[in-house]
Structure 1
Amino acid sequence: EARAKARVDQWIDWQASDLNKSWSYAFMSLVRHSPGHQDSHALATSCDDWSRHMEILDRQLDSTGAYVIGDKFSLADIPIGLSVNRWFETPLAHPNFPAVSDYYERLNLRQSYRLYGRNGTP
């Protein structure tokens, strides 16, 4: 199914480029406490950008009703799911994204996600 594979690739690429880029400064500041990442303006910008990207994911999950590309778990849910865990485990103000929250709980039903994703570490 070429079309389904392309959608998986699209979301994996989005996670690796756009989403990861948005949270990198905030994560280094708030979790790693990097001395080189303590600029308050850059931190606020990163948090806002991260929230904007999580809103994109929330809309996508709301449209599919379950997983990133549809009603079944796919390869795209592995990197996206890890990023969702990082989102919830990073100490910052989290806007309410109901579809992302539901997705996080749905992923938590998977033993492998609890072991490697939602295991208490960002």
Structure 2
Amino acid sequence: MNDWIAVMITILGRRNSSSVQLVMWAINEIGVEFERLDYGHGFATTNTPAYLAMNPMGRVPVLQDGPVTMFESAAILRYLGAAYGSETFWPACPRSRASLDAIAEWGKNTFAEGVLRIFVYEVRMSAATRDPAFLAAAVENLIPLAKIFEGFLRGREWVGGDHFTFADIACGHILHRYFSLDWDRPDLPMLRDYYEKLQQRTAYQQNAMVPFDDLKRSYRPL
């Protein structure tokens, strides 16, 4: 239980960020009150002392909840689950949660990063800066990861078993981009059916299926 009264959770971050989408999907599934303020990439700048004090990386999202201020979307997801989630969404027992934690970590990092490599090529790079070798390497990296994802779904209703959990958010938030991008996807029927099932969830429609037109040709290499 919280030892403070949270008036409302505040999320700082633009809605077309995949990391913000993960957090907002979780908030809407759990059903806590919130406000979201647009920050980053054409909105309020993250390069200010005040913002950098909350997230020294200058990225989105940032969560504010009473005395709690934190960054990193996967950490925010875990916080939301522990603070506000049901036992089904976030099992309190570490042993019951262990396999879900592992899948969630893999989904947010390894799988999502693989999808985002193709996203950078297809959406954020201009035609003049695209190197087909970059796309080929990204596809070669992602196909085996997608097959691993398919394996998580074999014999299961959701990635962790019979119930929708935080692990589905960590893994599933990026599937809209996975299936919307123009690349040679492998035929994985369980993964496709899983995505179709996610699309039936109102919170997924509102927070993960967000247009990314504003991000086109916006890539700036470091």
> Shorter-chain TM-score: what band?
0.7 to 0.9
Alignment of 1:7-86 (within 5 A): 7-34=99-126, 38-64=130-156, 66-86=157-177
Structure 1, unaligned stretches of length 5 or more? none
CA distance in structure 1 between the partners assigned to 2:167 and 2:174 by the alignment: 11
Superposed displacement of residue 36, structure 1: 9.0
Superposed displacement of residue 95, structure 1: 1.2
Judge which range, 18-27 or 92-101, deviates more: 18-27
- Mark the CA change 1:77 to 1:37 in structure 2 (over 3 Å): closer, same or farther: farther
> For residue 93 of structure 1, what is the aligned residue in structure 2?
184
Give TM-score scaled by structure 2 length.
Answer: 0.50
Superposed displacement of residue 25, structure 1: 2.5
The answer on whether the counterparts of 1:25 and 1:37 sit within 8 Å (CA) in structure 2 is no
- 1:26-70 CA distances to partner (integer Å, 9 max, x unpaired)? 211101125796221121111121121111001111132x11100
CA distance in structure 2 between the partners assigned to 1:46 and 1:93 by the alignment: 11
Structure with the larger strand share:
2
- 1:70-115 CA distances to partner (integer Å, 9 max, x unpaired)? 0110001112111211200111121111111111111112111111
Alpha-carbon RMSD across the aligned residues, in angstroms, is 2.1
Structure label with greater radius of gyration = 2
> For residue 195 of structure 2, what is the aligned residue in structure 1?
104
> For residue 2 of structure 1, what is the aligned residue in structure 2?
94
Superposed displacement of residue 13, structure 1: 1.0
Q: Which runs of 4+ in 1 moved over 3 A?
A: 34-37, 119-122
Aligned AA (2:125): H
Judge which range, 105-114 or 22-31, deviates more: 22-31
- Mark the CA change 1:27 to 1:105 in structure 2 (over 3 Å): closer, same or farther: same
Q: Identity of counterpart residues, as a percentage?
A: 26
Aligned residue pairs: how many? 121
CA distance in structure 1 between the partners assigned to 2:194 and 2:184 by the alignment: 19
Superposed displacement of residue 119, structure 1: 4.1
CA distance in structure 2 between the partners assigned to 1:22 and 1:85 by the alignment: 14
- Mark the CA change 1:89 to 1:76 in structure 2 (over 3 Å): closer, same or farther: same
Structure with the larger helix share:
1
Superposed displacement of residue 118, structure 1: 2.8
The answer on whether the counterparts of 1:89 and 1:120 sit within 8 Å (CA) in structure 2 is no
